[in-house]
């Protein structure tokens, strides 16, 4: 299990937003990687499937990026990993490149 903790700025103060990426498991003809995002209002669990464990993990990490960037916390500038505006450190699928900020944008968007 892999974890990363982001921070959501709330009226009552900063709240941890834990992200958990589970070890991929082999299914019948596919691999599956579950992930959880511990939003302050309630957790979100989902999974990604791939041809092998590596692809399932990578697709789960991309799905995490989509959930983070689509959140109202991101839209309102209330979500951070380290410093505000630096990104969250997850790979984004190409259609979402325009939404990237900070280090995420530098790491993924070609000049």
Model pTM score: 0.89
pLDDT digits (tens, 9 = 90+) for 75-104: 999 999 988 888 999 998 887 788 788 887
Q: What is the 3-state secondary structure (H, E, C) of the chain?
A: CEEEEEEEEECCEEEEEEEEECCCEECCCCEEEEEEECCCCCCEEEEEEECCHHHHHHHHHHHHHHHHHHCHHHHCCCEECCCCCCCCCCCCCHHHHHHCCHHHHHHHCCC
pLDDT digits (tens, 9 = 90+) for 14-25: 999 999 999 999
Where does the pLDDT of residue 9 fall: very low under 50, low under 70, confident under 90, or very high at 90 and above? very high
pLDDT digits (tens, 9 = 90+) for 34-75: 999 999 999 999 999 999 999 999 999 999 999 999 999 999
């Amino acid at each position: 299990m892999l974890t990363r903790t982001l921070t959501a700025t709330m009226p009552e103060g900063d709240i941890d937003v834990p992200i958990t990426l589970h070890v991929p498991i082999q299914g019948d003809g596919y691999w599956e990687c579950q992930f959880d995002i511990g939003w302050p209002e309630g957790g979100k669990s989902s999974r990604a499937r791939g041809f092998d464990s590596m692809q399932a993990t990578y697709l789960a990490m991309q799905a995490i990026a989509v959930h983070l960037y689509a959140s109202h916390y991101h839209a309102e500038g209330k979500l951070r990993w380290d410093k505000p505006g630096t990104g969250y450190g997850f790979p984004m699928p190409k259609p979402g490149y325009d939404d990237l900020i900070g280090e995420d944008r530098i790491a993924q968007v070609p000049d």
